[in-house]
Amino acid sequence: MKRIFALLLTFAALTFAADKKIVVRGSGYGFADNDAAIELYQEAAGDNATVVSARSAEEFAKEIVDAHGIIGGISKEQFPTAKNLEWVQSVSAGVEAYSFWPEFMASDVMLTNCKVVQGPTIGDHAFALLLTLTRGLYDYAPNRRQWKSRSDAPAGMTELPGMTAVIVGMGGIGTQIAQRAHAFGMDVIGVDPKNIPVSVYAPTIVPPDRLDEVLPKGDVVFIAAPLTPESEHMIAAKQFDAMKRGAYFIAVSRGRLYDKGDLIKAIDSQKLAGAGLDVTDPEPLPADDPLWDFDNIVITPHVASHAKGSDDRRLDLIVGNVGRFSKGEKLTHLVDKSVGY
């Protein structure tokens, strides 16, 4: 009788342990050891959930059928097969793949992202792009083993103190850009739909309907907003026309926030002094795209969030949410699906 009772307890424990299933899509998302990341997720889940790694598309399609949580995202075609799905953890800040997908946004599935954690790294990258332009570094790199005279220095080299930065999107990334701009002696005007308190870094924050009003004040315009149906191509011909002649344009969130053709016209006409782009539309950017033809357009291949610091913070965030989800607790970094970020 005791043995039967013990077996029943074991069966009950196993049943409870299998109560929730979390599937990790692909890999450890930039972490050096995927298996180590999976172990951390399982440790956080404890006995409340089972964490499964699906490294191939075939494995993922099979595992999500009875999954309650997914780390790494799910496609529109796969969504109907995941009958038990309660939670999706995006490994990036942007969740536009879902914002343009009404069926998912109307569902009860919780969506969390990695906003804020990538902010410091992307803030650094935004200024790397800007300084490459303002200090003419594009004319010196890659190293050509040639010492140029000062008279050959790129025209228009300038300094940042006293400039005004207009930052479109004052979330985790925009706030980090604002802190760096302030440290460089720049004045900051933020643009954001939320009622964000002003700070020493951003003493002025206006709503999006005042964007065209503040653009003429910017010596630099940073684009750090999320991509939603409302923000797509929010920077187009009218906005480029409104910018100050000689301004710089820096985009580090999503390429579909600005109209590429209109940007090219603004650069070609010398209305803008230059552009720094970590994001384009499309990606990868084809080798024959006209953006490549300009010396004063600096392009990096959507790598602004790459750094060990970002990876460590992303891992901590996901581990924490795995633990909360497994225990039925409130998740952090929840996306407000009514607005798409």
Active site residues: 254, 283, 302
Complete DSSP assignment for 129-156: HHHHHHTTGGGT-S--S----GGGSPTT
How far apart are the C-alpha atoms of 44 and 316, rounded to whole Å?
10
How far apart are the C-alpha atoms of 172 and 285, rounded to whole Å?
26
Burial classification of residue 218, based on how many CB atoms lie within 10 Å of its CB (0-12 exposed, 13-18 middle, 19 or more buried): buried
Pairing mode, strands 20-25 and 49-54? parallel
Secondary structure element (H or E) that encloses residue 309, with its range: helix 308-327
How far apart are the C-alpha atoms of 85 and 91, rounded to whole Å?
17
Place of tokens 């720094």: 276
For residue 258, the cross-strand partners are: 235
Tokens of 4: 């039967």
What are the residues whose beta carbons fall under 8 Å from the beta carbon of 197, sequence distance 6 or more?
none
Place of tokens 């009772």: 5
Count CB neighbours of 150 within 10 A. Answer: 5
How far apart are the C-alpha atoms of 316 and 275, rounded to whole Å?
34
